[in-house]
């Protein structure tokens, strides 16, 4: 381990913390960052164990920010508030079932198509989708977690399944689904955060138990540094997104995705065409 490795770990943690929660695809950004930092296939920073376990730092940020809302045993809560918290968790579980089932079935297949062209196309497609849906978006009729039914939660969960395709963005897919069925933007973002806890923890755990990569002590340190950075930056990114969508729509993220998708395609494929 050297100073360069530590800087790379900090940068990757920063990118993870920002892109995991904003609907702009962490995969697309990781591909670009790895390319610019000269990280090659087979390197530790490109390994499945690093790219997925680093997410645990981001998950911890959600748990801290929303602790009172997520924790059903808080002494300050009334009996009804505790019941509402349990109901919320049951809705989260219902929404996670499609991703849990189909994610396990297609996990390896999706990893194999995680190429720049696939990521770029999905960045652009969902960028266009965000802009189109926001243009036709009517007033939201679901504004609180109590108004969100189990059927609605399942519908959002089906949209979350789309995120197994690289470049889609888990938060992007769930937020789009929630807005389509009438959820307010703040509720869509918040429910997306809560869905991330079991989904990202489950995926990280799956990668740990199924991966035969044996980390060195230095690699453990680099992973920890990246996780801490992801946690710190996630605290900022989540609060920013919640504050932003109370006053604005998601169009800016749609345009950002389109521009990024075009840049990724240009960077990787224009040099090939010019040869």
Along the 275 residues of the chain, how does pLDDT read in single tens digits?
688 899 999 999 999 999 999 999 887 788 778 878 888 877 888 888 888 889 999 999 999 999 999 999 988 899 999 999 999 999 999 999 998 888 777 766 666 667 788 888 999 999 999 999 988 766 788 999 999 999 999 999 999 988 888 888 889 999 999 999 999 999 999 999 999 999 888 878 877 777 777 888 999 999 999 999 999 999 999 999 999 999 999 999 999 999 999 988 888 777 766 66
Give 126's Cβ-side CA count (13 Å radius): 31
Print the domain residue range for 170.
Answer: 3-274
Q: What CA–CA distance (Å, rounded) separates 208 from 198?
A: 15
The full length of the chain comes to: 275
Instruction: Determine the 3-state secondary structure of 149 from DSSP.
Output: coil
Q: What is the pLDDT of residue 112?
A: 67
Number of domains in the chain: 1
Return the DSSP state at 138: -
Task: List Cβ neighbours of 40 (8 Å cut-off, separation of 6 or more).
Answer: 46
Q: What CA–CA distance (Å, rounded) separates 78 from 81?
A: 5
Global pTM? 0.89
Q: What is the pLDDT of residue 131?
A: 93
């Amino acid at each position: 381990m050297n100073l360069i490795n530590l800087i790379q770990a900090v940068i990757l943690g920063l990118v993870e913390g920002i892109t995991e929660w904003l609907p702009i695809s962490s995969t697309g950004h990781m591909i670009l960052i790895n390319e610019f930092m000269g990280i090659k296939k087979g390197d530790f920073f490109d390994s499945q164990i690093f790219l997925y376990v680093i997410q645990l730092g981001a998950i911890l940020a959600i748990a801290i920010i929303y602790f009172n809302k997520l924790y059903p045993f808080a002494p300050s809560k009334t009996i009804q508030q505790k019941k509402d918290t349990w109901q919320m968790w049951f809705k989260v579980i219902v929404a996670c079932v499609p991703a849990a089932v189909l994610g396990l079935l297609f996990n390896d297949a999706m990893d194999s198509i995680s190429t720049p062209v696939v990521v770029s196309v999905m960045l652009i497609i969902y960028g266009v989708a965000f802009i189109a849906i926001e243009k036709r978006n009517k007033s939201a009729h679901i504004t609180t977690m109590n108004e969100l039914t189990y059927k609605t939660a399942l519908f959002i969960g089906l949209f979350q399944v789309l995120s197994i395709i690289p470049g889609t963005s888990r938060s992007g897919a769930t937020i789009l689904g929630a807005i389509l069925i009438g959820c307010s933007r703040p509720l869509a973002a918040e429910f997306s955060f809560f869905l991330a806890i079991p989904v990202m923890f489950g995926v990280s755990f799956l990668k740990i138990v199924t991966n035969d990569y044996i980390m060195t002590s230095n690699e453990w340190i680099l992973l920890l540094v990246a996780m801490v950075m992801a946690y710190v930056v996630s605290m900022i990114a989540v609060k920013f997104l919640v504050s932003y969508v109370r006053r604005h729509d998601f169009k800016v993220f749609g345009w950002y995705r389109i521009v990024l998708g075009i840049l990724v395609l240009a960077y990787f494929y224009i040099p090939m065409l010019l040869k």
